Chain A
């Protein structure tokens, strides 16, 4: 299970950030070639990201590249740079239907087959940014075995819905739809960016909501948001104690050849064990919160 609580956006054209962002230790870094890069810098950002991907300092961090849409004049060259450069995951913006992912997958396979990296080694991620994307979320989430997750992108979505970002009411249906699609497909789900980096309370409220709904994590635009996000996702000591007891009971049952086991009168089955493993993984990554 890959831990994906924090996905930090980095503008692909910013040399200083690309040279240093590994120190913040997010779970994933997303090198952005799309919205964070001006049209006149698209070509140089592409080369910056291509070379940064191979930096040894990023070896232990999942590297995601957000390319421009394949329908744009930049998309195909961005994809060449990302796949050849060694990106772990390609994030496709403005994914409206399964066909968008099929087209991406076809192109990724073509590049891999040219011998630059093993076939099947490039993961994919779909960003859903429109009403069409939300409505088609299930078919998108199930469209490729390469998909590691789907993300909701709030800004473009609320524009498409003819509303604006507020207390989260405007994202209620989209969050639930994207999350259910991801879970039905067995992949990860990422919540929207919180744009006001000076509003710590608002950010934490939104993190708490995303966590309660079941999102694996959030896309982030400022390194300052990483630590509070990780802290919010850390389990309590009570959670960790219970998870340890669940794992111990499950291991004991397996040793004794028992198919079903109970702890304090409650049955422990595979989803309970998986949840306990996630709790321990989060505790190992960011400790426990008081």
Chain B
């Protein structure tokens, strides 16, 4: 999925995260993570984010995550929603087989 526009998903409230995806150069993606619990869960958040982005085959964008202590399921949901918005994927075109 090619990033074609900037998109946001989520909030900065507790237990949530804000994901910002914007178009970038090249084929891959750049991932930036900030989290209130980075010292404890940083590697786990990064692993989840990379897995989700790989499943969706996101390319050509920058993904910025501001985490406020979200559960793994919330991270997945917000990332998927932001990526689909940024890649202009409509509800009817979601490939459910690519979601965990």
Contact = CB atoms under 8 A, between A and B. Distances in A.
Nearest to A74: B91
Contacts of A43: 81, 84-85, 91
Given A43-B81, A44-B78, A55-B73, A15 B91 contact: no
Contacts of A44: 9-10, 77-78, 81-82
Q: Is the interface of A mostly helix, strand, loop or mixed?
A: helix
B78 A76 contact: no
A37 B14 CA distance: 19
A15 B16 contact: yes
A19 B74 contact: yes
Contact of B91 (A48, A52, A73, A84): A73
B9 A15 contact: no
Given A15-B10, A19-B71, A47 B15 contact: no
14 contacts: A15-B13, A15-B71, A15-B78, A16-B16, A43-B81, A43-B85, A43-B91, A44-B10, A47-B78, A50-B77, A51-B73, A55-B71, A74-B91, A76-B91
Contacts of B91: 42-43, 46, 73-74, 76-77
Contact of A47 (B13, B16, B77): B77
Interface residues of B, number: 25
Greatest chain A CB density within 10 A among B9, B16, B77 is at B77
A94 to B, nearest CB: 19
A76 B92 contact: yes
Interface of A: 15-16, 18-20, 42-44, 46-48, 50-52, 54-55, 73-74, 76-77, 80-81, 84
B76 A15 contact: no
Given A43-B91, A77-B92, A84-B96, A51 B10 contact: no
A25 to B, nearest CB: 19
B85 to A, nearest CB: 7
A20 B16 CA distance: 12
Nearest to B76: A51
A52 B73 contact: yes
B19 to A, nearest CB: 9
Nearest to A80: B96
A16 B81 contact: no
Nearest to B13: A16
Contacts of B82: 44
B97 to A, nearest CB: 9
Contacts of B9: 44
Nearest to A75: B91
A51 B78 CA distance: 10
Given A15-B15, A80-B96, A47 B81 contact: yes
Contact of A16 (B15, B85, B94): B15
Interface in B74-100: 74, 76-78, 80-82, 84-85, 91-92, 94, 96, 99
B70 interface: yes
A77 B94 contact: yes
B34 interface: no
Interface in B36-93: 70-71, 73-74, 76-78, 80-82, 84-85, 91-92
